[in-house]
Amino acid sequence: MRRAIILTALTVALCASALSATTVAYVPIDRSIDLSEAVLVGHVLRMEAAYNADGEIVTRIDLLVEESLKGNVQRGEIFTFDAWGGSLDGVNVETVGEARYRMGQKVLVQLESINGEYHTLGLSFGKWDVSKDAKGKQWISRSLSDLNVVGVNEAPVEKMPLRQMREAVRERPAF
């Protein structure tokens, strides 16, 4: 019996499949910074499903800004942006490849304006989780597994020190 349970658990783990994708064009870090109107570090304060101006379900995310690397946003400000999809009025819309958030999570987001609403650049492409290693060094990491990434000419960056992103933003010309 015990062996059967272990075998079942292993089987389920081996058969578990990744979620599928949305297609984004790969851009290197420097180019992604140019395309971002704001690059913010902060904590997810609130998430709430709503209808956008086109009547589509989105999830409104309030970010308590801890650091503004790019854009006219101040530390301590609550900045609201949208993630595609969500659950509202008995309907669930799952936008494949969209970033997922947790309450209280610390993130770095690269944001662009689409039809007057802010979204992360390339869905989960523009959302980074912020974490600290044992020495207290801050890292940012993102998952591209739900995305179909096209136009790839280099190994996609999925993890880097937060400091490196700060420097990359500083080195980009302001428009």
Partner 1 sequence: MKKIALFLALSCLASSAFAYTLNGRKWFSSADAKFYLNNSNGPACCLSSSQQSSQITSGINAWGIAGSGGTTTKSGAKRDGQNVISWGKLGGTTLGVTNYISTDTSQSQVCSGNLIYRFVEVDVRFNNAYSWQTSSGCSNGFDLAGVSTHEFGHAVGLGHTNVSGATMYPSVAACDFSMSSLANDDRAGYSAIYSGCQ
Judged by the rule CB under 8 A, the positions of this chain that interact with partner 1 are 1, 3-5, 7-8, 10-12, 14-15, 17-27, 32, 35, 54-57, 84-85, 90-97, 112, 114-115, 119, 121-123, 125, 144-145, 147-153
Burial bucket for residue 111 (CB in 10 Å: 0-12, 13-18, 19+): buried
CB of 48 to partner 1, least distance (A): 18
Tell me the CA end-to-end span of the chain in Å, nearest whole number. 66
Q: 136 to each of 98, 101, 132, how far by Cα in Å?
A: 29, 23, 5
Query: Which residue lies nearer to partner 1 by CB, 113 or 141?
Result: 113
Cα(48)–Cα(65) distance, integer angstroms: 18
Query: Which residue lies nearer to partner 1 by CB, 42 or 86?
Result: 86
Query: Which residue lies nearer to partner 1 by CB, 134 or 150?
Result: 150
Cα(45)–Cα(154) distance, integer angstroms: 35
Cα(53)–Cα(168) distance, integer angstroms: 34
CB of 122 to partner 1, least distance (A): 4
CB of 60 to partner 1, least distance (A): 16
CB of 82 to partner 1, least distance (A): 12
Query: Which residue lies nearer to partner 1 by CB, 43 or 172?
Result: 172
Cα(109)–Cα(106) distance, integer angstroms: 10
Cβ contact 76:82 at 8 Å: no
Query: Which residue lies nearer to partner 1 by CB, 33 or 73?
Result: 33
CB of 145 to partner 1, least distance (A): 8
